[in-house]
Amino acid sequence: MNAAPLGLRVKNLQAGYELGSPIVRGVSIEASRGEIVAILGPNGAGKSTLVKAIAGTVPIESGEVRLDGEDITARPAHRMAGGGLAFVPQTDNVFTTLSVADNLRIAAHALSAAQRRARIAAICELFPDLARQRGLAAGRLSGGQRQMLAVARALIVVPKALLLDEPSAGLSPKVVAELFAKLVEIRAAGVCIVLVEQNVRAALDVADRLYVLVEGRNRLEGVGRDLLADPEVAALYLGGAHGMAAGMNR
């Protein structure tokens, strides 16, 4: 018997905030361990709703979500992290009144004391800038540092899959490059990463595969520049061939 494929498998997912009014309409995606998959599409395509549904924060009407072969479709959001799936929402993803260190300690509350110390030490090594500001309130961090802290908190429990909703929103190009470089490091550790992203150039630089959603449905799937060279993608997402060419050449 073949072993179940490692990673995240979403099949024919239908989900939305109100029963009978789905925003995600039969979407299927796959993300293997050690792979970054980007979800692209125009505003209102259902990208954020998709990752929230996978994470258990938006009701799923039908379809299935599997992580390393295990069906997690009906798992409640508060049990996702313990089962290997971590989610970083776009906003409200850190406790702003608490210190960096306290944010990490809270994220590690389910671990034993020894595990907690080991994981926080490992995270501080991965994010040295956060380690230098462990005593600072998260609300006083820059936007980029706060997003790094949100990712660091998600990694405390050593997830199998990491979901991120618009991680580059509001960040400068320099900070986006730093954040995405960290995602590449995390991918190298065997984590599968699924990110919703409006910054096509940033996603293109790191993603192994891309999905394009339109009106809550799969429209296109492919590999990086191969997909974005498709004139249909240019028309749907980047404002036509001229806009796509400009984006590719910048």
Model confidence over 19-28: pLDDT tens digits?
Answer: 889 999 999 9
Question: Please, is 74 exposed, middle or buried when counting C-beta atoms within 10 Å of its C-beta (0-12, 13-18, 19+)?
Answer: exposed
Residue ranges of domains in the chain: 7-93+159-249
Banded pLDDT at 204 (limits 50, 70, 90)? confident
Banded pLDDT at 4 (limits 50, 70, 90)? low
Mean per-residue pLDDT, 147-165: 95
Q: What is the pLDDT of residue 241?
A: 38
Q: Which fold has domain 7-93+159-249?
A: Rossmann fold (3.40.50)
Check whether 235 has a pLDDT greater than 80. Answer: no
Q: ∠ at Cα 34 (30, 35), nearest 5°?
A: 45
Check whether 46 has a pLDDT greater than 80. Answer: yes
Q: pLDDT over 90 for what percent of the chain?
A: 72
